[in-house]
């Protein structure tokens, strides 16, 4: 049995790409789609990495984590969120707040990577959601770099999907800082 399980949730394929890069990097890892995954499948792994797309600041993969927290409490778990946010503390806190209760907030380390939006793949309601987000951002007086990245992704201008975005995660894995929180 592999030492690692990498569980991913990807609507449009970029998160899957990241999951495969991580699998190739760490070597001894099995890859699973979160959708339909039975918790029993992951019980035996020592290290679990969950990677999921961010949509309206929600990471559907966190629902799997919360539902199966009993199986995960005493394992090494890390989470990667794929969206338009830069990987910095304030953004990690924001995504944690949006997806976990206060008690679970800092339980697992979170890393953020950037992806892309392919306007040919998304549904009409999603396109409309994104138009709403775009209008909100455009109303802001002081736009942050994340706002500018979000706008360019929404317009389908840029792909930020790159293995370089996983540098922090790889450093964390190599550093030996990955411990089980009790
Ligand atoms: C409808 C929709 C809403 C999104 N909302 C957010 C968001 O709130 N925050 C964010 O960081 N990224 C957001 N994104 C960007 C996605 O997270 C990004 O496209 C990511 O690469 C998707 O991963 P996937 O290709 O694996 O589905 C959104 C994308 C779509 C299509």
What pLDDT digit, counting tens, does each position of 97-135 carry? 999 999 888 889 999 999 999 999 999 999 999 999 999
Q: List 55's β-bridge partners, or say none.
A: 58
Rounded Cα distance between 99 and 9, Å, is: 15
- Is 53 a pocket residue for ligand 1 (Cβ < 6 Å)? yes
24: CA distance to ligand 1 center in Å? 24
CA-to-CA dists, residue 162 to 18, 23, 35, 165, 168, angstroms: 8, 15, 24, 6, 13
- Is 56 a pocket residue for ligand 1 (Cβ < 6 Å)? yes
Rounded Cα distance between 129 and 132, Å, is: 5
44: CA distance to ligand 1 center in Å? 31
- Is 55 a pocket residue for ligand 1 (Cβ < 6 Å)? yes
86: CA distance to ligand 1 center in Å? 13
Rounded Cα distance between 17 and 31, Å, is: 11
Mean pLDDT of 127-148: 96
Average pLDDT, the chain: 95
Q: Give the residue whose CA is nearest to atom 16 of ligand 1.
A: 83
What pLDDT digit, counting tens, does each position of 41-70 carry? 999 998 999 999 999 999 999 999 999 999
CATH of 4-116+160-175, one of 3.40.190.10, 3.40.50.2020, 3.40.50.360, 2.40.480.10: 3.40.50.360
- Is 160 a pocket residue for ligand 1 (Cβ < 6 Å)? no
Q: Cβ atoms within 10 A of the Cβ of 33, count?
A: 12
54: CA distance to ligand 1 center in Å? 5
pTM over the 0.85 mark: yes
142: CA distance to ligand 1 center in Å? 22
Domain ranges of the chain: 4-116+160-175, 117-158
Three-state SS at 182: coil
Kind plus residue range of the DSSP H or E element containing 173: helix 167-175
């Amino acid at each position: 049995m592999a030492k690692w399980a990498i569980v991913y949730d990807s609507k449009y394929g970029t998160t899957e790409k990241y999951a495969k890069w991580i699998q190739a990097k760490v070597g001894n890892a099995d890859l699973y789609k979160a959708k339909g995954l039975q918790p029993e499948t992951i019980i035996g792994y020592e290290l679990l990495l969950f990677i999921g797309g961010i949509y309206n600041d929600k990471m559907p993969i966190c629902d799997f984590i919360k539902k199966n927290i009993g199986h995960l409490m005493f394992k090494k778990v890390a989470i990667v969120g794929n969206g338009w946010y830069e990987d910095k503390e304030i953004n990690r806190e924001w995504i944690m707040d949006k997806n976990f209760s206060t008690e679970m907030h800092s339980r697992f380390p979170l890393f953020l990577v950037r992806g892309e939006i392919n306007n040919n793949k998304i549904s009409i309601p999603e396109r409309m959601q994104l138009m709403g987000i775009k209008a909100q951002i455009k109303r802001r007086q002081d736009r942050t770099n994340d706002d500018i990245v979000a706008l360019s992704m929404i317009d389908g201008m840029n792909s930020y999907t790159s293995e370089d975005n996983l540098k922090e995660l790889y450093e964390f894995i190599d550093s030996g800082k990955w411990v089980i929180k009790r």
